[in-house]
Structure 1
């Protein structure tokens, strides 16, 4: 279920969520501290951790992609370590291949593999097994997607993303735990892509709309019906308002789309007079094989905007340690 931050329902259940989250955060804090007592160092690996205090919607995966692209430009070989949330291989762990389905490996790992086809993406609950598998393939630079909970792994550099506008922010971890990060960035919409970002903040920009063949499409003033299944659907909806948005539908994060969902969205498009259906890149990875060829679908490629020195700081640290 997806709730809007300004709707009445979250306000009604907020006291109960706070009470439940206090218990959850306390248990999480103790577990992280206990795991940290058995922390392992990996001197032959350079481990970058992309973290968040909340359950989702902060932009960890876009940041992983930004770091990966920067490493590619330097000619560095790297691997990405993710969990593969709710996937078939989440418990067992596996190296992701392009032929896998999102049900097998998860939507975000599949999108990451599509973005970095020449680099390895590993999933699994056991991060130590994933690290060992990556090291066995001679990957010396590793990017941990949501590595905050893996306190038993010593990181070389960690970036903490904070989205205090998320309706369920701080329900997962205590605020003070962000101090563990080497760099803390707070989400602050700049409004315009060309507008400079304030220090220690980040933002997103919709880079382009692409069709199923990966070709950029310019839609002009054509009306669209957009949908997403993200941790922060409100942000995606707001991004789509730069176009002529006729309607929007949000689903819960990691929602498994069915043919019935897509038929319903297509009916909505026709009812609202939309020329295109538009989804997020993450959702496109899940539905691309379910759609009839004639469906007028585009996906939005979102880029994370960072202070100029964020990636430079990571690259410099890796270079000084001899990994680049």
Structure 2
């Protein structure tokens, strides 16, 4: 299900006010949950990359970027994910040679190319399993509202173009909890987007951020396949498909059709055949994201062009300093 448009308006409208009583109940339930004592206080650092918004902020590329930075400094992290959309309850280590996205989820399968990944519905059990394998540090993919594991560092990831929407909690807005409550438990905020979006985000939300504000952008990975002038039918089943379409436009691809899909939506043979027919009839190349590509049926993996992106920090030194303080603490 796609998010209602009124969620991302800058201020609450009549729909948000109408749903305010339900939002208050949701916020109260979240507050009660996060106040619980942790089930696990690990003897090694756990870094949580979470969000306040219900999906679509850029956590997956953030996890990959953080893992790569840690590896470059000599620390090999393990990743623990809930494995959204997968059937395995875990804890189980993701093996890309035998696991499918249907089993472990698309995000863990993608991240497993960069670092060891454990999927577990119970995050404390997932962290225990990763630590038992000798991981010196665990990155928790999501879990800011989950108190099961004590965190050494909590970073809230946000899409600068959307910010915290209308500032309201589900169902009146896009948030899992109020902005002030969520940010007061965070050690830093990571805002992702181009400079103009970052400026707008700072103006609207900067005063509410009590800790460091880190910034970054998503940049296409240079694969040697030029996008400029390429006629494409683009499809994406990520939290905010428009981000992918905007990336293609910035790379000067000619988008003949853009197909937004639901986040984690299964890419069935039937759906892919329809998209292939539409692309063929217009002379377009099918293109999608890395996250979607791991869900493609095998018969389509050679037919669809993948456009990978990587997170680029505006101030890598500030991120490294935060990590070093966490590791030394």
Q: Which one of 3, 21, 24 corresponds to residue 22 of structure 1?
A: 24
Gaps of 5+ in 2: 203-211
The answer to whether residue 176 in structure 2 is matched with residue 172 in structure 1 is yes
Asked if the contact 2:234–2:257 (Cα under 8 Å) also holds between the matched residues in 1, the reply is: yes
Secondary structure (helix, strand or coil) at the match of 2:308 reads strand
Q: Taking structure 1 as reference, are residues 270 and 38 closer, same or farther at Cα in structure 2, changes over 3 Å only?
A: closer
- Stretches of 4+ aligned residues off by more than 6 angstroms: none
| Offset, 1:55 | 1.2
TM-score, normalisation: structure 2: 0.82
Secondary structure (helix, strand or coil) at the match of 1:181 reads coil
Q: Taking structure 1 as reference, are residues 3 and 131 closer, same or farther at Cα in structure 2, changes over 3 Å only?
A: closer
| Offset, 1:18 | 4.7
CA RMSD, aligned part only?
3.0
The answer to whether residue 311 in structure 2 is matched with residue 304 in structure 1 is yes
The answer to whether residue 287 in structure 2 is matched with residue 278 in structure 1 is yes
Q: Taking structure 1 as reference, are residues 78 and 205 closer, same or farther at Cα in structure 2, changes over 3 Å only?
A: closer
| Offset, 1:190 | 1.9
Gaps of 5+ in 1: 211-215
- Aligned residue-pair number: 303
Tell me how far apart the structure 1 counterparts of residues 4 and 282 of structure 2 sit (CA, whole Å).
Answer: 22
- 1:225 is matched with 233
Asked if the contact 1:52–1:148 (Cα under 8 Å) also holds between the matched residues in 2, the reply is: yes
Q: Which one of 144, 147, 157 corresponds to residue 148 of structure 1?
A: 144
- 1:202 is matched with 215
Asked if the contact 2:86–2:101 (Cα under 8 Å) also holds between the matched residues in 1, the reply is: yes
Q: Taking structure 1 as reference, are residues 160 and 16 closer, same or farther at Cα in structure 2, changes over 3 Å only?
A: same
Matches within 5 A, 1:120-269: 120-163=116-159, 165=162, 170-176=174-180, 177-190=182-195, 200=213, 202-208=215-221, 216-242=224-250, 243-269=253-279
Secondary structure (helix, strand or coil) at the match of 1:64 reads helix
| Offset, 1:205 | 2.8
- 1:213 is matched with none
Secondary structure (helix, strand or coil) at the match of 1:155 reads coil
| Offset, 1:272 | 3.2
Tell me how far apart the structure 2 counterparts of residues 64 and 48 of structure 1 sit (CA, whole Å).
Answer: 10
- 1:54 is matched with 53
Secondary structure (helix, strand or coil) at the match of 1:26 reads helix
- 1:81 is matched with 80
Q: Taking structure 1 as reference, are residues 133 and 292 closer, same or farther at Cα in structure 2, changes over 3 Å only?
A: closer
Q: Taking structure 1 as reference, are residues 201 and 135 closer, same or farther at Cα in structure 2, changes over 3 Å only?
A: closer
Asked if the contact 1:81–1:127 (Cα under 8 Å) also holds between the matched residues in 2, the reply is: yes
| Offset, 1:180 | 0.8
TM-score, normalisation: structure 1: 0.83
| Offset, 1:6 | 7.5
